[in-house]
A and B are shown apart, each in its own frame.
Chain A
């Protein structure tokens, strides 16, 4: 059972990273970005095209370029929907479905429908602890997730930008009164989210491989993690991701892997009925 849980934790970290990107945007703009997966996938494709897939750049340079590209695209996307967002968050949310389709179309147009391999530049290492195999990939996922979560925490808890982000997410009126530019804060969350997306995608594709749909499909599970975390809580979604990873792995192993989607939906429904505000809402209940 230990190896099953262990693998679940590693996969769960990936769900957490995906969920964090969704929650960043939801917290500031109260909308869901359904294009998150497709845009992140597009970033991963750029890395592939710049490295093994053709240009032959060093991996780090390709990742840096992909991150810059993702930032530019997120600014563009926010520019497109900002006006819709002012009217209603639901309208903007629906617009992201269209943006997701455009991104997917771009992938198919530029890179075709083939499946590609895109690995992390890691050595073939594996060692064993307590009967569990641990590979360089597992270590990379865990440490990348840890670093991302710590960096995000520091930015949000320790910087002026973080103060602005938290104010906009909980009390937008207070933020406006203080002369904050709400759209700048939105932009911050979109840009951060896009970078989280690319990082998550790069960590996901070594197991799932890269096609026009893999990252989008993966983000559906990240969406479940975000829902279980309450959708407006960053720590909640991080924990939600690991919870989803472990429970899905246990379910697949002990019950039936082909019923995994059914299980995931049931899990989401159950968590919405028992913890409507997310798994951490009990503990922070006094936060009105």
Chain B
């Protein structure tokens, strides 16, 4: 297995690091979906904050079937949070933003990469403006040729498919495979499973699709090593900080 999708512990840690170092805010709260997604986020956030002698201000979970997050918002608001990391689906993010608007809570939001998607804007409207996404993929609107190609190809061959982060995710995985397969063919070796795995384990600092510096070695399959910071602004997803490595303490803690 050569996974690209990073552990959510890493994204949560990157988000917290950005809040602390760039935004200068340290009252971080977490609203998490009580399954693997949320638990990993909590793990990463705990780890990065304690490495810096800080703690989570408050954390509150929700069930995946929950549709109303107003109680959770009341809690983080009452705790005095400045920054809220929300790890759940885009519907949960939308519901949380709604609830926050209803009680006029204003703070900084961080959400997972897959919510940096036009479909989220369809749900939230302009409430999404100002939300940050720590993402291993460049934003959908970026002008990198590989992403332009994605935006051009999908409407041509799949006119019913919407452009989105999930598509870009698949596009990136396929792009990486193409890179590896070309390497294999140009090396002149037989295109066998073993040979392909060997080539994959030499992938080092490769850019593919919307991701950068993908690296695999024989003993380390943490392919993704860095993330960008995206901010939702006026209906678009804008890159506000280029790729930056994951906080070391969390990167060391996730399984290879």
Contact = CB atoms under 8 A, between A and B. Distances in A.
Contacts of A150: none
Nearest to B90: A115
Interface in A182-217: 206-209, 211, 214, 217
B122 interface: yes
A247 to B, nearest CB: 12
A7 B100 CA distance: 12
Nearest to A257: B71
Given A3-B103, A128-B104, A257 B94 contact: no
A110 interface: no
B71 to A, nearest CB: 3
A96 to B, nearest CB: 22
Interface string B57-71: 000111101111011
A80 to B, nearest CB: 29
Nearest to B69: A257
**Residue from the set B34, B66, B102, B125 with the largest chain A CB neighbour count within 10 Å:** B102
A203 to B, nearest CB: 13
Given A7-B70, A117-B125, A217-B67, A257 B102 contact: no
Given A133-B102, A135-B101, A138-B102, A207 B63 contact: no
Interface string A111-150: 0001111010000001010000101011000000000000
A114 B94 CA distance: 14
B123 interface: yes
A33 interface: no
Contact of A208 (B72, B75, B95, B124): B95
A79 B71 CA distance: 42
B74 interface: yes
B122 to A, nearest CB: 6
Interface string A214-250: 1001100000000000000000000000000000110
Contacts, number: 83
Nearest to A137: B102
Q: Is the interface of B mostly helix, strand, loop or mixed?
A: helix
Nearest to A138: B102
B111 to A, nearest CB: 15
A207 B60 contact: no
Contact of A218 (B67, B71, B98): B67
B77 to A, nearest CB: 9
B123 A117 contact: yes
A253 B98 contact: no
A214 B125 CA distance: 19
Interface in B35-66: 60-63, 65-66
A253 B74 contact: yes
B91 interface: yes
Given A208-B95, A209-B123, A257 B72 contact: yes
B106 to A, nearest CB: 11
A253 B123 CA distance: 25
B67 A208 contact: yes
B27 to A, nearest CB: 19
B103 A7 contact: yes
Contacts of A253: 71, 74-75, 78
A207 B92 CA distance: 10
**Residue from the set A117, A211, A218 with the largest chain B CB neighbour count within 10 Å:** A117
Across the A-B interface, give the 8 residue pairs with the lowest CB-CB distance, nearest first.
A252-B71, A208-B67, A133-B104, A133-B103, A117-B123, A115-B91, A258-B61, A257-B71
24 contacts: A7-B103, A11-B68, A115-B119, A117-B94, A117-B122, A117-B124, A119-B125, A126-B102, A126-B104, A128-B104, A137-B102, A207-B68, A207-B70, A207-B95, A207-B98, A208-B67, A217-B65, A252-B72, A252-B74, A253-B71, A258-B61, A258-B62, A258-B63, A260-B66
Given A207-B68, A258-B63, 17 more contacts: A7-B71, A11-B70, A115-B91, A116-B123, A117-B94, A117-B125, A135-B101, A207-B70, A209-B67, A252-B71, A252-B72, A253-B74, A253-B78, A257-B60, A257-B62, A260-B66, A260-B71
